[in-house]
Amino acid sequence: MHLKSKIKKIVLSVLIVILITLMAGGNAGVKGIFKFPDTVGNRFELEIIKLSNKGIIEGYPDGTFRPNAMVKRSEIATLLVKVKNLTLYKPSISKFKDVATNNWAYGYIMAIQKDGLMVGYPDGTFKPDGNVTRAELAVVLGRLKGLENEASKITHPTITAYDINKVPSWSMPYVDLGFQPQYNFLTGRAGYIAPQENATRGEVAYGLYVATNPPKFGGTLKAAVLTNPVTLDTQITTATIPSTFGMHIFETLFTYDENGEPIPLLVDSYNVSNDAKTYTFKLRKGIKFHNGKEMTADDVVASISRWGRLSTNGKGLFSEVESWTALDNYTTQMILKNPINVPAYLASDLMVASIYPKEVIDKVGDTPLKFTPEEIIGTGPYKFIEFVSDVHIKLIRFEDYSPRNDIPNGLGGRRTVYPDVLLIVIVPDRTVRALGVITNLYDFAEDISPDQYGKLRIDPNIMTSTVLKAWDSSIFNKKQGIFTSQKMRQAFLAALDMEACMKGAFGNTDFWGLGPHLMGKSTPYYTDAGKKWYNQKNIERAKSLLAEAGYKGEPIRWLVSSDYPDRYNIALIAKDQLEKAGFVIVLKVVDWPTLLKTRTDPTLWDIFDTDFRYFSDPVFILAIGPNYPGWYVSPTMAQYLSQMRSETDIETRKIIWEKAQTLFWEDVPAIKYGDSMILYIFRTTLEGYRKYSISYYFFFNMWKES
């Protein structure tokens, strides 16, 4: 009797929980549905979706949106009518010569003419089938917002852009207003206003949406990240989280525009001598540090010198620097031994050449900055308040921030921060990060599992963003041990099935890619040189190479970190493949600090895993340098790299790089498995600017919906 009831109890509870599990499990693998297949990843995707949800803008019958298509003037008339909820107006006589009363858009065009939104051309035409130009869009949106009064007060532009002089005077006030932070209804095209160019559907959608839902200052933006930053000293750290957030606190002389090219940030202007060995930088004036002091050349010289001593990038540059001095309070000069593209180094978003106050540098020397507001002082739009380890980093808006006047252009141009507080919340658990955004605890989370993509894509409150992150790699110990032999390394490479490795670790094929390239597709250095060595899947060849190398079954010590599951998953799959070829592999799992320590000792390991960010320039790639653990010493590679450093012509550099990449695959100092993407998620309440060339996220020119 007692027995029965006990068993009943156990069985019942197990059944209930199984039921629950199956319900949860049943939801996995649902294919994502999204409104427009061709807006995924588009910079205006959020606004397009929101505008379309309001019924104002629609896609085409085939389900696409065509965000880059042009907009006819008649079409924008209909959009305006819908936005402003005007009644159609169909007077018996048309006001426009070229708009007949039976024109499909007649009622719309007349309505907006009556409302004063669009008045047509001086010659009495409307040109309904003409495309709306960006200048026209500015005017229309300005009128939509009722900014005629403000516009009349503007005589000169307050903004700058590369083509500011090409803006027609009739549209100039509205263009100016459109780029001001409180209105923000216009976006640039890589620093150009392009007033005579046709506006795209995406730009129109964005403009209409923001014109009617203006940006709001205030609130707290909560961003959930993976780990504690170990330091916020962006000059030293090679970790992404501190570097990314650090760039909201500190600024650099140069930064990246929408195309990934360096443009001035703290520098006002600069010139390069004819022999390309002397750079003279004129700094912007009136830039305040968070402690109220003005930034001068002394601060810049001290900061860049420190960066040159402590960061790998910096050391690379400074090995060619002959002198770096302040000429006067706002001018600095760098004289090089050989020509080098200095702005590219100074713009880097990793191992950042941040500008600190000279007093701070004098005080801390080469020791990393500590987490106190006395040491973390920059010129950026956010100010450091506190760091509570494992909990959060708190930044608040710096009221005396001096933004640039040029239109937002990637990370360059005017940087406006709308939320009062930027709270970086540390949430190590991937699932909890995602759940936090789903349940509105956080506004943003990085590094979400690709396996959740399906569910997240269809959540109406969440926007996803997939960005190329890095290439996954294993590094051989080339100083000591079994992989000093090139044949061994080639054997290893031959046995690998890259596709299986990547698929096993990352799953969803949207989130990883294959290919021998070490530079990203968006750079001019993208090449498939070396492809015959990549993804050979050739166990037989591996076996014969092993035999040639004289491998006798010595165990290979593979170091993996317990903190990064993606990497050791790759290792697990690769291990099976390699063992088929006859390798004997011993996986050693350790935590991150132990890994760092062990890696410095060449007697303790043969291979370890890591991943490498995609950089903007091949000379930044760590794996092919002699100092990175792995100790790759190759005179040929060193020669290629130094040629690249001094060469500024892109075509020549491409040729050199192709040779270098081929050498990489023949010599195999490291393995590349494939590319992995990183999934970020935002709540749809986070609106604003979203065009960065680099793979990390920034919160400039973004605001929380009111």
Tell me which residues in 606-635 interact with another protein (CB under 8 A). Answer: 622, 627-629
Cβ closer to another protein: 391 or 539?
391
Tell which one of 213, 594, 648, 684 touches another protein (CB under 8 A): 594
Cβ closer to another protein: 192 or 564?
564
Shortest Cβ distance from residue 366 to another protein (Å)? 7
Q: Which parts of 310-349 interact with another protein (CB under 8 A)?
A: 310-312
Shortest Cβ distance from residue 469 to another protein (Å)? 16
Shortest Cβ distance from residue 660 to another protein (Å)? 21
Cβ closer to another protein: 212 or 227?
227
Q: Does 603 bind another protein (CB under 8 A)?
A: no
23/469 Cα distance (integer angstroms): 33
Tell which one of 341, 449, 464, 490 touches another protein (CB under 8 A): 449
Q: Does 514 bind another protein (CB under 8 A)?
A: no
Three-class SS of residue 680? strand
Shortest Cβ distance from residue 517 to another protein (Å)? 23
Q: Which stretch binds another protein (CB under 8 A): 151-159, 250-258, 305-313, 687-695?
A: 305-313
**Do 515 and 530 touch, CB atoms closer than 8 A?**
no
Tell which one of 58, 554, 591, 666 touches another protein (CB under 8 A): 591
Cβ closer to another protein: 276 or 310?
310
Shortest Cβ distance from residue 393 to another protein (Å)? 11
Output the CA torsion sign for 610, 611, 615, 618.
positive
The closest of 69, 234, 230, 206 to 141, measured between CA atoms, is 206
Shortest Cβ distance from residue 15 to another protein (Å)? 11
Tell which one of 543, 557, 599, 683 touches another protein (CB under 8 A): 599
Strand partners for 422: 221, 395
Q: Which parts of 178-197 interact with another protein (CB under 8 A)?
A: none
Cβ closer to another protein: 238 or 684?
238
Cβ closer to another protein: 19 or 655?
19
74/131 Cα distance (integer angstroms): 9
76/176 Cα distance (integer angstroms): 21
Shortest Cβ distance from residue 24 to another protein (Å)? 5
Query: Which pair of tokens denotes residue 513?
Result: 């890619």
Shortest Cβ distance from residue 590 to another protein (Å)? 7
Cβ closer to another protein: 281 or 608?
608
Residue 181: which residues within 8 A CB-CB, separation 6 or more? Answer: 215, 414, 416, 418, 701
Strand partners for 270: 281
Q: Report the 10 Å Cβ neighbour count for 631.
A: 17
From residue 546, give the alpha-carbon distance in Å to each of 205, 550, 605: 60, 6, 19
* CB half-sphere exposure, 313, CA atoms < 13 A: 27
Q: Burial-class residue 23 by CB neighbours within 10 Å (0-12, 13-18, 19+).
A: exposed
From residue 590, give the alpha-carbon distance in Å to each of 475, 501, 607: 16, 21, 13
Shortest Cβ distance from residue 464 to another protein (Å)? 15
Cβ closer to another protein: 335 or 572?
572
Query: Which pair of tokens denotes residue 359?
Result: 């007093």
Tell which one of 90, 97, 363, 597 touches another protein (CB under 8 A): 597
Shortest Cβ distance from residue 323 to another protein (Å)? 23
Cβ closer to another protein: 167 or 360?
360
168-199 b/e (C-beta count within 10 Å ≥ 16 → b)? eeebbbbbbbbbbbebbbbbbbbbbbbbebbb
134/192 Cα distance (integer angstroms): 11
Output the CA torsion sign for 30, 35, 41, 45.
negative
Query: Which pair of tokens denotes residue 657?
Result: 């790089």
Tell which one of 40, 69, 154, 239 touches another protein (CB under 8 A): 239
Q: Which parts of 571-590 interact with another protein (CB under 8 A)?
A: 572-573, 576, 587, 589-590
Cβ closer to another protein: 103 or 237?
237
The closest of 187, 297, 216, 241 to 704, measured between CA atoms, is 216
Q: Which parts of 407-446 interact with another protein (CB under 8 A)?
A: 425, 427-432, 434-436, 438-439, 441
Cβ closer to another protein: 96 or 680?
680
138/199 Cα distance (integer angstroms): 10
Per-residue H/E/C for 319-369: CCEEEEEEEECCEEEEEECCCCCHHHHHHCCCCCCECCCHHHHHHHCCCCC
Tell which one of 28, 100, 119, 458 touches another protein (CB under 8 A): 28
Shortest Cβ distance from residue 507 to another protein (Å)? 6
Q: Which parts of 359-398 interact with another protein (CB under 8 A)?
A: 366-368, 370-372, 387-391
Backbone angles phi, psi at 301, to 5 degrees: -65, -45
Residues that contact another protein, how many (by CB under 8 A): 85
Q: Which parts of 476-505 interact with another protein (CB under 8 A)?
A: 500, 503-504
Shortest Cβ distance from residue 674 to another protein (Å)? 13
Shortest Cβ distance from residue 438 to another protein (Å)? 8
Q: Does 252 bind another protein (CB under 8 A)?
A: no
Secondary structure (DSSP) of 190-234: TTB--TTSBPBHHHHHHHHHHHHS-----SEEEEEESS--S---T
